[in-house]
Amino acid sequence: PARMAGQVCIVTGAASGIGRAIARMLAAHGATVVVSDVTTAVIEGGAPTADVIAAEGGHAVFVSTDVARTEQVDALVTQTVARFGRLDVLVNNACIRHARPLLELDEADWQRVLDVNLSGVYRCCRAAVRQMVAQPLVDEVRGRIVNLSSQHGIIAAPGDLAYGTSKAAIAYLTRQVAADYAAQQIVCNAVAPGKIQTGAGGRAVDPVVMERAERRTPWPRLGRPDDVARAVLFLASSDARFVTGAELMVDGGWMAA
Ligand code: NAD
Domain membership of residue 255 (yes or no) is no
Q: What band does 157 get if pLDDT is binned at 50, 70 and 90? A: confident
> Which residues have a Cβ under 8 Å from the Cβ of 175 and sit 6 or more positions away?
245
Which ligand 1 atom lies nearest to the CA of residue 163?
Answer: 34
pLDDT exceeds cutoff 60 at 173: yes
Choose between 169 and 205: higher pLDDT: 169
> Which residues have a Cβ under 8 Å from the Cβ of 34 and sit 6 or more positions away?
8, 9, 10, 11, 60, 61, 62, 63, 76, 80, 84
CB 79 within 8 A of CB 42: no
The pLDDT assigned to 200 comes to 54
Domain membership of residue 28 (yes or no) is yes
Domain membership of residue 150 (yes or no) is yes
Determine which residue's CA is closest to atom 10 belonging to ligand 1: 13
Q: Looking at residue 138, what DSSP letter applies?
A: B
> Quick check: CB of 246 below 6 Å from ligand 1?
no
- CATH at 118: 3.40.50.720
Domain membership of residue 76 (yes or no) is yes
Q: What is the pTM of this model?
A: 0.98
Domain membership of residue 203 (yes or no) is yes
Question: Ligand 1 centre and the CA of 17: distance in Å?
Answer: 7
The pLDDT assigned to 206 comes to 74
The pLDDT assigned to 134 comes to 98
Determine which residue's CA is closest to atom 2 belonging to ligand 1: 199
Q: 159: how many CB neighbours lie within 10 A of its CB?
A: 15
Average confidence (pLDDT) over 66-86:
98
Domain membership of residue 44 (yes or no) is yes
Q: Which of 122, 163, 172, 181 is catalytic?
A: 163
Domain membership of residue 3 (yes or no) is no
Q: What band does 205 get if pLDDT is binned at 50, 70 and 90? A: low
Question: ipTM greater than 0.85, yes or no?
Answer: yes
Number of domains in the chain: 1
Question: Ligand 1 centre and the CA of 148: distance in Å?
Answer: 9
Q: What band does 1 get if pLDDT is binned at 50, 70 and 90? A: confident
Which 3 state secondary structure label does DSSP give 130?
helix
Confirm whether 163 is a catalytic residue: yes
Question: Ligand 1 centre and the CA of 97: distance in Å?
Answer: 8
Average confidence (pLDDT) over 185-210:
82
Mutate to test the pocket of ligand 1, among 10, 18, 226 (most ligand atoms within 8 A of CB): 18
Domain membership of residue 78 (yes or no) is yes
Domain holding 220, by residue range, is: 8-249
The pLDDT assigned to 204 comes to 56
